[in-house]
Each structure stands twice: as C-alpha cells, then as structure tokens.
Amino acid sequence: MEFIKTPHINVLDDIGFGKTLLMPGDPLRSKFIAENFLENPVAVNSVRGVNGFTGYYKGTKVSVMASGMGMPSIGIYSYELYKNFGVQNIIRIGSAGSISPDCKIGDIVAGMGSCTNSSFGNQYGLDGTVAPVCNFDLLSAAKQIADEKKYSFKTGLLFSSDTFYDDTRSSLDWAKMGCLAVEMESAALYLTAQRLGMRALTICTVSDLCYPPFDALSAEERQNSFTEMMELALETAVMTDGLPHLEPKE
C-alpha cells in the first residue's frame, strides 16, 4: 500500500509496519522489545522521539511503536496507524494500578471493555454513551495463550482515566462497577478501532495497588512481569495473523 505520511509518523516505505503492532507507552520499551524479541528489527519511525520498529517474531512480521501517555496521544497514533499505514491490529501493552481486591500485583489484565471519565467519545456525535470494547478474536487468542502458559491472567473492565494526579481519588469508585484496574489509554484506543472498523486489545501488568497497603513492584519485578506481558502480546500477534484483512472505514 502507499503510505500517507503524517507529522507524527514518517515510516520507511520499503519496510512499513506489520499487520499487528504492539503499543507500549514508553518509547524505550519499544526499543527493548525490538532488541530482545524481534528478529532483524529495523527502526521505522523516530518522529518526536517515538520509537517504532518492525521485525519478525516466529516468522510473523510484527511492529512495535510507543503511544506516549494519555488518550489524546494514543488517539492520534492509533488513528494514523490504522488509517494511513496498514496496521489492522493494535495491542496496547502497559502498566496499570489495581483498584479491585480481585486484581493482584503482577497479574496480567486484559480489558474486555474500558470505562472512562474522558470526553473522547463525544466527537462521534451520538445521542448516548458509546461502550469502548476490545476485539473478541484478539482477546480470545490472548486468553488461550495465557492459560497454556499458566500466567496469572484476568479479563474484565479497565478504567481509563484522563488524570494521573487526581485530587478526588475517584478512580477507586469505579471498582463498584466491576473495573479491575486503572490506566490512561485503552478507551481512546478501543473507540478509534471501533470507529475505523479495526481491531484492538489492551493488556496491562498490574504494577501498583491503588488502595492500602499501596504496594508496588520493584524495578526488577517490573522487568520480569512485563516480559511475560510482552511475550503474550507477541504470541497473540502470531496466532491472529490469519484473521481476515480489514480496510479502515471512512
């Protein structure tokens, strides 16, 4: 396909992106995944320091590129990747804070849906509230792989917050609606994918407890736990590579 370059992504034409793209928030985590998991990785984007790489994992062409922090940022990158660069599946991989006793430090949480306090969905002009949900095929594959590998894996609702420092600590209130953990990107990713008719999934590792005793992973524990999440996302990319081709909706 012919890529339509944007102010945020200026990919190498002869390499491009894979059908599935992993999307951590941190550009350095993109680099880590490329260097430690992908065969023959090539840097394909560095605009604004947002590292993007394309390589192969078990013979499947896969890309990884950072989203930055928050819904406006992932909303821009995911829209352009789906619309202009041939990406069909985006798997967000990040950290999350538990707001439910059912979700422990080190658990991997896949967001079936994403509640949010953001007004991101207002742009669609709907007379009601749109429900941001993941793609079932991606979720089903991730669940199967996690069960086979015996990961501590939970599926449920995420709370996607527009604020990190929140005076009201209102994130905890979302637990009563079944939300397991709080993060800051999944709602915008899901809504963008739904609008364009593409596929998305968010997988997070619980790095912190947002309620007493306010525990958190150490730096070494984060590295080990996040590696499991990265491998899960890559294996999901391989398993779902044969899904039907999609074209973004107008």
Mean pLDDT by 10 residues, the chain (250 residues): 80 88 93 95 90 96 96 97 96 96 94 96 94 98 97 97 86 93 98 98 95 83 80 98 96
pLDDT of residue 224: 62
pLDDT of residue 14: 82
- Angle between helical axes of 219-239 and 27-37 (0-180°, round to 10): 70
pLDDT of residue 12: 76
pLDDT of residue 168: 78
- Amino acid letter, 240: T
pLDDT of residue 4: 76
- Amino acid letter, 123: Q
pLDDT of residue 143: 98
pLDDT of residue 125: 95
Query: How many angstroms separate the Cα of 207 from the Cα of each of 121, 196, 221?
Result: 28, 31, 9
pLDDT of residue 211: 87
Catalytic residues: 208
pLDDT of residue 223: 61
The residues pairing with 53 across neighbouring beta strands, listed in sequence order, are 43, 64
